[in-house]
Amino acid sequence: MDKKKFDCIVIGGGHAGVEAAHAAAKMGAKTALLTISKSTIAVMSCNPAVGGLAKGQIAREIDALGGVMGLATDAAGIQFKMLNRSKGPAVHAPRAQTDRHRYQKWIENYLTQMENLTIIEAEATDILAEDSKVVAVKDKQGNVYKTPTVIVTTGTFMKGQMYIGDHWWDGGRIDEQASSNLSDSLARLGLEVERLATGTPPRLYAETINYDGLEKQLGDANPEPFSFMNDKIEIEQVPCWITYTNEKIHQLLVDNMHRAPISLGAIKGTKPRYCPSIEAKMLAYPDKTRHRIFLEPEEREIKIIYANGLFTSVPKDVQDQMLKLMPGTENVKIQRYGYGIEYDYCPPHQLRPWLETRKISGLFLAGQVNATSGYEEAAGQGIIAGINAVLKLQNKEPFVLGRNQAYIGVMIDDLLTKNIDEPYRMFTSRAEYRLHLRADNADRRLTELSREVGLVDDKRWQRYQNKIKGIEKLKTTAKQIRIDGQTIWDQLRRPDSDISQKLADIDEVKALALDRFQIEAVAIDVKYEGYLKKQDRLVAGFKNLEKQKLPADIDYETVEHLRREAKQKLNIFKPATLGQASRVNGVTPADITVIRIHLKKYCS
C-alpha cells in the first residue's frame, strides 16, 4: 500500500480540521490530517469555551450530525450554562466553559485511535492540480501525498502576522509558526486571497486577582450535556467572574491611541466587528463609561484567567497600566499579553454550497479561511466539507443543509450570498426560521440526514430511535389524559399553564419511564405548534425557489432586461438556485422574475 496516497487530505488541525478529518475517516475514506504540530490539534487559541447564543445551536447540530465537538465539551467542561432561560426555547443557547488542556488532549487521543485516519506532522506548502482537479499535496520537506480531495482548514495560519503595539512577528498562533506558502499556492490555482485581522485578550495568573467585590457567575444547578450521547453532567463546576473597565482606563487608551496598531495604519486586513478590541470600542462608543469584562478560567485548577472582552493589541506597558486600573486586577501578573493577528483568507463567494471551490474540483475550504470567526462556525463547516469530500469520492449527490434545516445551513448560505469582508459570526437574528432551529431539537432535525450519508453509527442511531419512540408515546398520552377537564395537550398549549413543570410527576407520564429531554421536547413542541405551522407554510414557498437550480455556467451578462448591478453580483456569486440568487445583495424580486423568464426561454 502506498503510504503517501490518500482518499482525502485535511490541511490544518483546528476545529474545522478536526471535524472534517473525523467525518471523512468515519465515512470510510482513507484520510490524512496534516498539521504543523500534533500537540496543537483542537487547541483553544482564543476563549476556552464552546457554545453561546447561536453558537450553542451550531455545536448541538455538529453533535447531531455525528461530530466530536459535543463529546469533547462534555468531557472537558468545567462550567455549563443555558443562556436565555428567561426567554423562549427558540433562543435558549447552551454554553460551556472548558478546560482547554483537557479539551485538546481528549480530541487528540480520540483522533489518534480512529480507523482510516493518519495524523502527519508537516507543513503543507502546495496543492497540486491537473486539468482543474486536485491530485496531490506537497509539504515543506518535499513529500508529495497523492489525493483526489483536499480540505483546507488553516485558520489564522496562512501568512499569519501577530502584533502588539508597533512590534510585529510572523506566526499562526502564539509561539507557533505561520504557514507562509499555502496561500500563494491557492492563488496560483486561481483563487482570490485577501486579508483579515482579529485579536485576543491578555491571560492573567489567577492567584494574583482579587475576587472580593467582583460579580460571581455560577453554572446551572442541573447542567445539560452538549452531546446527545450523554445523559447528564456530573462534575463540580467552577465559577467565572465579572469586572468592568472605567473612565480612567478609557482615558488611558485615548491618550495612547497613537501607539495602537489600529491607529498606526499597518493593519491591512478587516478587523472583526463583533469581537472588537477595547481600543476600537473607545472609538466606536466614546460616551460609554464602562465595558463588561468576563474573567474566565482556562482550566479546572483555575491557574490562568482569560479576560474575555478585553481584546487588545496596545503596547505591553499600556496593557499593564490598564489592568492596574480595573477592579480585581490591580495587582495582577500577566501570563500572556493580548495581541492581534492578521492572516490570509479566501472570500467565500468562490465556493459551491457544499464548500467545494468552483475553480478546482476536489478542493474544499472550511473555517476561518472562509472568513468566519469562532470554533463552532469553523467546526460546522468542517463537518460539512468532510461529508462532501467523501460523497464526491462515492460519486453521490452533495450534502447541503438549507436555511430551514440548520444554523449551519444559514451560515454557509450567508457566506455564499453576502459580501463577506469581515470575520463572520453567527447570530440567532440571521436565521429566519429560528423557531424551528432550536438547540433542543438539533438531533431530530439532523440525525436521520447524517445517518443517510453514513456518519451516524449504530449506537447513536439506536439511541435516537428510542428517544423518538418515547416522544411519540408521550404525545399520545398527552392527548388522551385529562386533568381538571382538559387534556394535558390542551393545557400545554396555554401560555398561562404551569403543567409543563409538573409533567414528569403525572402518574401516566411516570409510567412511560422517559428522560427529561423527551418530556421537554413534547412540552416545547406543543407550545410552538401553531407558530411552526405558519413557519412551515413559509418554508414551503422557500423550497419552491430552492428547487429551481441555476446552470453553473450561466453568464448573466447575456440575460436580457436584467439590471446591471444584478448581472455583476450574480456573476461574482454564481448562486446554485433561484433561492440563493434571491438572497444575493443587490438582487431584487424583479430580477428573479427576469431570470425565471430567461430560464424558460433558453434553458428548458
Q: How far apart are CA 302 and CA 543, in angstroms?
A: 49
Among 200, 124, 198, smallest CA distance to 160 is for: 198
Burial of 530 from C-beta contacts in 10 A (0-12 / 13-18 / 19+): exposed
SS3 label, residue 252: helix
Strands 49-51 and 93-98: antiparallel
Instruction: Looking at the structure, tell me whether residues 368 and 331 fall in a common domain.
Output: no
The per-residue pLDDT for range 59-117, each reduced to its tens digit, is 999 999 999 999 999 999 999 999 998 888 888 999 999 999 999 999 999 999 999 99
Instruction: Looking at the structure, tell me whether residues 134 and 243 fall in a common domain.
Output: no
Per-residue pLDDT averaged across 468-478, rounded?
95
* Residue 474 CA from chain centroid, whole number: 33
Q: How far apart are CA 251 and CA 255, in angstroms?
A: 6
SS3 label, residue 171: coil
pLDDT over 70 percentage in the chain: 97
Q: How far apart are CA 134 and CA 147, in angstroms?
A: 7
Among 54, 57, 48, smallest CA distance to 76 is for: 48
Q: What angle do CA 115, 119, 125 make, to 5 degrees?
A: 140
Strand partners, 336: 203
Q: Dig out the grid coordinates for 119 from the structure.
A: 495524523
Question: Quick check: 175 pLDDT over 90?
Answer: no
Per-residue pLDDT averaged across 462-491, rounded?
94
Instruction: Looking at the structure, tell me whether residues 476 and 531 fall in a common domain.
Output: yes
pLDDT given at position 501: 82
Q: How far apart are CA 410 and CA 40, in angstroms?
A: 30
Instruction: Looking at the structure, tell me whether residues 479 and 573 fall in a common domain.
Output: no
Instruction: Looking at the structure, tell me whether residues 508 and 594 fall in a common domain.
Output: no
Strands 8-11 and 149-152: parallel
Question: Quick check: 272 pLDDT over 70?
Answer: no
Last-in-domain residue among 325, 341, 357: 341
Position 493 in a domain: yes
pLDDT given at position 262: 66
Strands 161-164 and 482-483: unpaired
User: 429 CB contacts (<8 Å, ≥6 apart)?
Assistant: none
Higher-confidence residue of 165 and 264: namely: 165
Q: What angle do CA 523, 69, 528 make, to 5 degrees?
A: 20
| Number of domains the chain is built from | 4
User: Which band of pLDDT confidence, cut at 50, 70 and 90, is reported for residue 479?
Assistant: very high
What CATH number has the domain bearing residue 577? 1.10.150.570
Q: How far apart are CA 305 and CA 335, in angstroms?
A: 9
Strands 133-139 and 144-146: antiparallel
User: Which band of pLDDT confidence, cut at 50, 70 and 90, is reported for residue 267?
Assistant: low
SS3 label, residue 92: coil
Instruction: Looking at the structure, tell me whether residues 70 and 173 fall in a common domain.
Output: yes
User: Which band of pLDDT confidence, cut at 50, 70 and 90, is reported for residue 497?
Assistant: confident
Instruction: Looking at the structure, tell me whether residues 424 and 308 fall in a common domain.
Output: no
Among 587, 554, 546, 270, smallest CA distance to 433 is for: 546
Q: Dig out the grid coordinates for 206 from the structure.
A: 489567577
Among 55, 96, 304, 75, smallest CA distance to 219 is for: 96
Q: Dig out the grid coordinates for 235 from the structure.
A: 462534575
Cα-based distances in Å from 352 to 68, 235, 369, 398: 25, 43, 15, 10
Strands 161-164 and 167-170: antiparallel
Question: Quick check: 433 pLDDT over 70?
Answer: yes
pLDDT given at position 269: 55
Position 231 in a domain: yes
Among 261, 129, 147, smallest CA distance to 199 is for: 261
Position 54 in a domain: no
Last-in-domain residue among 341, 356, 391: 341
SS3 label, residue 433: coil
pLDDT given at position 209: 98
What CATH number has the domain bearing residue 272? 2.40.30.260
Q: How far apart are CA 575 and CA 584, in angstroms?
A: 8
pLDDT given at position 416: 94
Mean pLDDT of the chain: 92
pLDDT given at position 268: 61
Instruction: Looking at the structure, tell me whether residues 337 and 223 fall in a common domain.
Output: yes
What CATH number has the domain bearing residue 172? 3.50.50.60
Q: How far apart are CA 163 and CA 170, in angstroms?
A: 9
Position 467 in a domain: yes
Range of the domain at 514: 458-542
Q: How far apart are CA 81 and CA 96, in angstroms?
A: 6
Question: Quick check: 542 pLDDT over 80?
Answer: no
Instruction: Looking at the structure, tell me whether residues 35 and 184 fall in a common domain.
Output: yes
Instruction: Looking at the structure, tell me whether residues 302 and 381 fall in a common domain.
Output: no
Last-in-domain residue among 515, 542, 569: 542
Per-residue pLDDT averaged across 39-67, rounded?
96
Strands 161-164 and 149-152: unpaired
Q: Which residues of 200-236 are buried (b: 16+ CB within 10 A; e: fewer)?
A: bbbbbebeebeeeebeeeebeeebbbbbbbbeebeee
pTM: 0.92
> What DSSP assignment string belongs to 472-483?
HHHHHHHHH-EE
Question: Quick check: 527 pLDDT over 80?
Answer: yes
pLDDT given at position 3: 76
CB 571 within 8 A of CB 349: no
Per-residue pLDDT averaged across 286-313, rounded?
95
Q: Dig out the grid coordinates for 277 from the structure.
A: 478590541
pLDDT given at position 263: 62
Question: Quick check: 264 pLDDT over 90?
Answer: no
For the ranges 435-439, 471-475, 600-604, the lowest mean pLDDT is seen at 600-604
Per-residue pLDDT averaged across 220-231, rounded?
96
Among 376, 350, 378, smallest CA distance to 366 is for: 378
Instruction: Looking at the structure, tell me whether residues 33 and 107 fall in a common domain.
Output: yes
Position 97 in a domain: no
SS3 label, residue 346: coil
What CATH number has the domain bearing residue 477? 1.10.10
Question: Quick check: 540 pLDDT over 80?
Answer: no
Q: What angle do CA 200, 265, 348 make, to 5 degrees?
A: 60
The per-residue pLDDT for range 549-569, each reduced to its tens digit, is 898 889 999 998 898 888 998
Residue 137's H or E segment, with its range, is strand 133-139
User: Which band of pLDDT confidence, cut at 50, 70 and 90, is reported for residue 266?
Assistant: low
- In this structure, which amino acid lies at residue 221? A
Instruction: Looking at the structure, tell me whether residues 157 and 125 fall in a common domain.
Output: yes
Q: How far apart are CA 389 and CA 16, in angstroms?
A: 14
